[in-house]
Structure 1
Amino acid sequence: MAGARWAQSELLDKNPKADVRVFAIWFRMYPGDAESKWPRGLLTDTRVEHRWDEPKAAGRWFLTRLTTLRPSRGGDGKFPQQADALWDCYLLFDRNAAWNDTPTGVLSWGYTLMRTRDQLLKDFQFAIGAGQ
């Protein structure tokens, strides 16, 4: 939850005119996680689209393909935890990303979101043209 709060305050709130779309995919990872307990007060920006993914389809797909996404820039270089799905992470794509069999246009990814937030902030600012 800390990562979602950070993304809302540091990326979205501070860049209200940035032309971005955020997809937040939530699923059960801990006992007690449930759609009924989904923290809807996080990531309240209108540019965010939320999805509950009970079978963890997106997390499983990305976990098995993370090393094949190009360009491969893994945040701080640490591969995600041993789990059945990629979670508590970010994947940042440029605006020309194409979503076919495997998405293109990966700018960076990181795990955990809070541990790699400095890289995300730097890459996010680059992607939106901040400071140019």
Structure 2
Amino acid sequence: MQKDILDKHPDSDLKVYVVWFDMLAADSRSRWDQCAVSDPRATNLWDKDRVASRTLGPAVEGASPPVWDAYLLYGPDAKWADGPPSPVGTGSTIYGTRQQLEKDILPFLGNND
């Protein structure tokens, strides 16, 4: 994500929320690298109770709960109302769908990139 999207478009007005939780045996908050996605446009969050996975996961087409290693892309006008807004793009795994993510994100990069 950082190398394939953020580093390629340093002047874009993207906001990235990276949500981490324990999924694999080696995952834990004490071992979590909060700078894994170090771009200043990224906010890294630890989700101990996997709330983001339960709340946003159903929108990721083809993913099974618990949803992890996935992306949900929202446009600049997305608003949270009674529930989460509909994403304009989703994919899982992030690495496996990185080309689709880049395609989905292109309309939001503006004229700077």
Name the CA distance, whole Å, in 2 between partners of 1:105 and 1:55.
22
Secondary structure, counterpart of 2:94 in structure 1: coil
Name the CA distance, whole Å, in 2 between partners of 1:57 and 1:49.
17
Secondary structure, counterpart of 2:85 in structure 1: coil
Which residue, 49, 63, 85 being the options, matches 1:80? Answer: 63
Task: Specify which structure has the bigger relative contact order, considering alpha-carbon pairs within 8 angstroms and separated by 6 or more residues.
Answer: 2
Matched, 1:108 2:89: yes
Secondary structure, counterpart of 1:126 in structure 2: helix
1:3 match: none
The alpha carbon displacement at 1:131 in A equals: 8.9
Name the CA distance, whole Å, in 1 between partners of 2:4 and 2:90.
17
Which residue, 55, 59, 67 being the options, matches 1:66? Answer: 59
Query: What aligned pairs does 1:20-31 form with structure 2 within 5 A after superposition?
Result: 20-31=14-25
- Alpha carbon RMSD of aligned pairs, Å? 2.0
Which residue, 37, 56, 59 being the options, matches 2:50? Answer: 56
Name the CA distance, whole Å, in 1 between partners of 2:56 and 2:85.
13
For structure 2, the residue ranges without an aligned partner over 5 or more in a row are none
Q: Answer yes or no: is the 8 Å Cα contact 1:94–1:105 preserved in 2.
A: no
Name the CA distance, whole Å, in 1 between partners of 2:59 and 2:104.
18
For structure 1, the residue ranges without an aligned partner over 5 or more in a row are 1-6, 68-73
When the two structures are aligned, how many residues end up with a matched partner? 113
Name the CA distance, whole Å, in 1 between partners of 2:112 and 2:40.
24
The alpha carbon displacement at 1:125 in A equals: 1.3
Name the CA distance, whole Å, in 2 between partners of 1:28 and 1:105.
26
Sequence identity (%): 33
The residue type paired with residue 128 of structure 1 is L
TM-score scaled to structure 2, two decimals? 0.89
Name the CA distance, whole Å, in 2 between partners of 1:60 and 1:103.
11
Name the CA distance, whole Å, in 1 between partners of 2:88 and 2:99.
14
Secondary structure, counterpart of 1:106 in structure 2: coil
TM-score scaled to structure 1, two decimals? 0.77
Secondary structure, counterpart of 1:50 in structure 2: strand
- Seen in structure 2, the aligned counterparts of structure 1 residues 105 and 130 have a Cα distance that, compared at 3 Å, is farther
Secondary structure, counterpart of 2:88 in structure 1: strand
